[in-house]
Amino acid sequence: MPTYEYKCNACGHRFDEFQSMTARPLRTCPACGRKKLERLIGIGAAVVFKGSGFYQTDYRSESYKKAAEADKKAAEPAKAESAPSTAPSAPASGAGSPAKPAPAAPKPDAAPKTSSRKRR
């Protein structure tokens, strides 16, 4: 059931009322007793999804879950083969120090862009 906001045009009293959508709007102000009550148009309320059953993964079939698990297991060995070894390898020269990577090439300076439009 929605909550409606009301305002009395006689005394200015404002309040919220929890009513059914099919219920007639209130007409009598609870503060002054006059029949100058007006139901205001509100912004509405946000929808809040709580509990299970609201996520895409909650409705997956068993066959989908099994296929996803098989794909995951198949991808794990491929990752292990392509990953570099963590064991240190002995240098070929026998010097005992690891090879240093080549220094990166310097980047050329970018020329500032000029606008072809005239400034006012």
Structural domain includes residue 55:
no
Structural domain includes residue 23:
yes
Name the residue range of residue 27's domain: 3-40
Amino acid 2: pLDDT: 82
| DSSP code at position 50 | -
Residue 99 CA to residue 91 CA, distance in Å, equals: 8
Structural domain includes residue 53:
no
Structural domain includes residue 27:
yes
Structural domain includes residue 110:
no
Structural domain includes residue 34:
yes
Q: What CA–CA distances, in Å, run from 70 to 13, 80, 84, 112?
A: 64, 16, 24, 53
The total domain count for the chain is: 1
Residue 42 CA to residue 45 CA, distance in Å, equals: 9
Give the pLDDT mean for 12-21: 91
44-81 pLDDT, tens digit each:
666 777 766 666 666 677 888 888 889 888 888 766 66
Structural domain includes residue 115:
no
Q: What is the DSSP string of 62-102?
A: HHHHHHHHHHHHHHHHHHHHHSPP-SPPPPSS--SSPPPPP
What 3-state class would DSSP assign to 19? coil
Confidence of residue 41 (pLDDT cuts 50, 70, 90): confident
Beta bridge partners of 14: 7
